[in-house]
Chains A and B, each alone.
Chain A
Amino acid sequence: MSRGFDTERWTGLDGLVLVAAAAGVFTREPSLLLAAGLGVVVLAYVRVASIPEVSLRVERDLSDATPDPDDEVEVTLRVTNEGPRTLFDLRVVDGVPPALGVADGPARLGTALRPGATATATYTVTAVRGEHAWGETVVVVRDPSGAVESRETVDAETTLRCEPELAATADLPLRGLTSKYAGRVETDVPGSGLEFASIREYRHGDPIRRIDWNRRARTGELATVEFREERAAAVVLVVDTRAEAHVAPDGGAETAVERSVDAASVAFSALLDGGDSVGVAAFGPDECWLAPSSGVDHRTRARRLFATHPAFAPTPPDGAFFPSVALRRLRRRLASDAQVVFCSPLVDDYAVSVARRLEAYGHAVTVVSPDPTTTATVGARLARIERDLRLRELRRSGVRVVDWGDEPLGVALARAEAGWSR
């Protein structure tokens, strides 16, 4: 038996009882004295109030523990009274992970429970990318009069893991910086390939298949046809995960980090399919680095990384961040022939300087920038103009920029590609 703490619900009743009794005496009305007597009974009831030992078992069932993004997952919360006494007033609030939104039905429960009885609450959450663990369930127990209350927490471990498939829904065109391996990026290097580049004088040792026989027949000279050589690129997808990048047009919308991670995972898959070696890095307080590579294992690793790495969590990070240190570390890790695809909403000037610096160090940079701005207020419009100016500044310094608004990523890429010089 524990007393719990006083809710101070009935405070002052004793005073009222005394006033009623005194009034009864002064007016010589027996009915008022009787009412005071009733008050004394209530006071006694409150006085004996106590809370039995609370022993609860909490279980949680998910209709699907590994859903796809935006799937509705039904959560069944089961609370069983394992103590020997009835709990007259039981209030349960479930610890839903902060990143998951409750779509339907409250994640709370209020009931009275006999020993051994079970109460259930059912609610649905909408799955978002990531690994989400349920927190402690808060239980408030009151005695029947409500005079005392005790508060405890019960833990039931439940984890929901949502790993999106890496789908190549849009092709990200790369820039000319390539590695020495054969691939799909057309370079200006003449050699073997598909697209015609030039004709040059025959040199000893040129393959017979590349000799221009028409010319030989016409003029009697030997000439060699050259094609644009196609090579593979090494690409590192850098996602801006700083607290500054956790911005969204409104409370319910996806944050720019979410969209950046989406863009990066689409680009990852497309580039890997194209034979390039692709790496992943996060530019933020939580460090994350996956060196460029290729193959099935690499794809699986990246899928897990995008889904569950804390750096890509949908909630803002709270650790301290030293951007110049992080940038130096990133630069050391980048091979000299690595291209960079930087996914950032570009809502502050530092993101621009990151892109410009990487470009200056010789990594051909492409910026994919999800647009989080709105036109709702004057301040929002100002933010949008500032962002537009940043994009313009980047384009002027030779960085390719994809401005990604509300449309699908593929549309934004096609529109941006039309404006790029090769």
Chain B
Amino acid sequence: MALSAAGFAVLALGFTTSTAAVGGLAATVALAAGLVRGSRRIVDAAGGLFFLSLLFAGASGAGTEALLLAAVGSILAWDLADNARSVGDHLGRETDTLRLELVHAAATLVVLAVGAAVVYGADRAAAGGQPITAVVLLLVGVVALVAVVGR
């Protein structure tokens, strides 16, 4: 259960570089409360707070690397917390589920790292001038991807 503390640490690191650190801190507190109470609603609210902090940080001009790291940290923290909560629901708190949670954390971390690397790589490759058409094309691409991938 306490594993998501690692998530918090990563996340705090990601946020110190941005002005939205306060939002991230509040979200972390909410996440901890959700874990203690074992409440899905509080954990999800914490996820929402993370998202708002990310939006704010991005809008106020945080660096690309910092924001990507923060996003990875946020998603990981929420995912671990929610997984821990569901394991707690199924198996109770006294069961030893370290292996289960480690495997889950590793899987999510790998996917996020690969994803971040791909996105970052694409950004580097397309670096240079940023004509508005490129941005619009990117947006169209994102919408298409979400439409295809979303269910």
B-binding residues in A (CB < 8 A): 7, 9, 14, 16-25, 27-45, 47, 88-91, 93, 106, 108-112, 140, 144-146
Please report the C-alpha to C-alpha distance between residue A186 and residue B127 in the assembled complex, in whole angstroms: 111
Could you say which residues of chain B place their CB within 8 Å of the CB of A145?
A: 107-108, 111
The interface bits of chain B over 45-81 (1 if a CB of A lies within 8 angstroms of the residue's CB, else 0) are 0000001001100110111100110011001000100
The interface bits of chain B over 82-100 (1 if a CB of A lies within 8 angstroms of the residue's CB, else 0) are 1100110011101111011
Please report the C-alpha to C-alpha distance between residue A18 and residue B119 in the assembled complex, in whole angstroms: 16
Could you say which residues of chain B place their CB within 8 Å of the CB of A28?
A: 135
Among A16, A34, A90, A140, contact of B119 (Cβ-Cβ < 8 Å) = A34
* Contact B112 A38, beta carbon cutoff 8 Å: yes
Beyond A21-B139, A146-B104, whether A34 also contacts B64 by CB under 8 A is yes
Could you say which residues of chain A place their CB within 8 Å of the CB of B63?
A: 31
Other than the given A40-B142, A41-B118, A110-B96, 7 more pairs (CB < 8 A) read A18-B142, A20-B58, A29-B59, A31-B63, A38-B75, A91-B100, A110-B97
Beyond A21-B142, A29-B59, whether A88 also contacts B115 by CB under 8 A is no
Among A34, A44, A45, contact of B123 (Cβ-Cβ < 8 Å) = A34
Interface residue count on the B side (C-beta < 8 Å): 54
Beyond A35-B54, A38-B116, whether A27 also contacts B59 by CB under 8 A is yes
Beyond A88-B104, A145-B108, whether A32 also contacts B150 by CB under 8 A is no
Could you say which residues of chain B place their CB within 8 Å of the CB of A18?
A: 142-143, 146
Chain A to chain B contacts (Cβ below 8 Å), 29 pairs: A9-B86, A18-B146, A23-B58, A24-B58, A25-B135, A28-B135, A29-B59, A30-B64, A30-B130, A30-B135, A32-B59, A32-B67, A34-B68, A34-B120, A35-B67, A37-B115, A37-B118, A37-B142, A38-B68, A38-B75, A41-B114, A41-B115, A41-B118, A42-B112, A43-B149, A43-B150, A88-B103, A110-B87, A112-B103
Q: How far is the CB of A105 from chain B (nearest CB, A)?
A: 8
Could you say which residues of chain B place their CB within 8 Å of the CB of A140?
A: 90
A interface secondary structure, majority: helix
Among A14, A25, A34, contact of B139 (Cβ-Cβ < 8 Å) = A25
Among B58, B97, B99, B150, contact of A35 (Cβ-Cβ < 8 Å) = B58
Beyond A33-B139, A34-B64, A43-B150, whether A20 also contacts B55 by CB under 8 A is yes
Taking CB as reference atom, which chain B residue is nearest A16? B51
Could you say which residues of chain A place their CB within 8 Å of the CB of B79?
A: 146
* Contact B108 A33, beta carbon cutoff 8 Å: no
Could you say which residues of chain B place their CB within 8 Å of the CB of A25?
A: 135-136, 139
Taking CB as reference atom, which chain B residue is nearest A14? B150
Q: Is B36 an interface residue (CB 8 A)?
A: no
* Contact B99 A111, beta carbon cutoff 8 Å: yes
Q: How far is the CB of A111 from chain B (nearest CB, A)?
A: 5
Q: Is B41 an interface residue (CB 8 A)?
A: no
Q: Is B125 an interface residue (CB 8 A)?
A: no
Please report the C-alpha to C-alpha distance between residue A29 and residue B79 in the assembled complex, in whole angstroms: 26
Taking CB as reference atom, which chain A residue is nearest B64? A31
Please report the C-alpha to C-alpha distance between residue A110 and residue B98 in the assembled complex, in whole angstroms: 8
Taking CB as reference atom, which chain B residue is nearest A20? B55
Among A44, A144, A146, contact of B86 (Cβ-Cβ < 8 Å) = A146
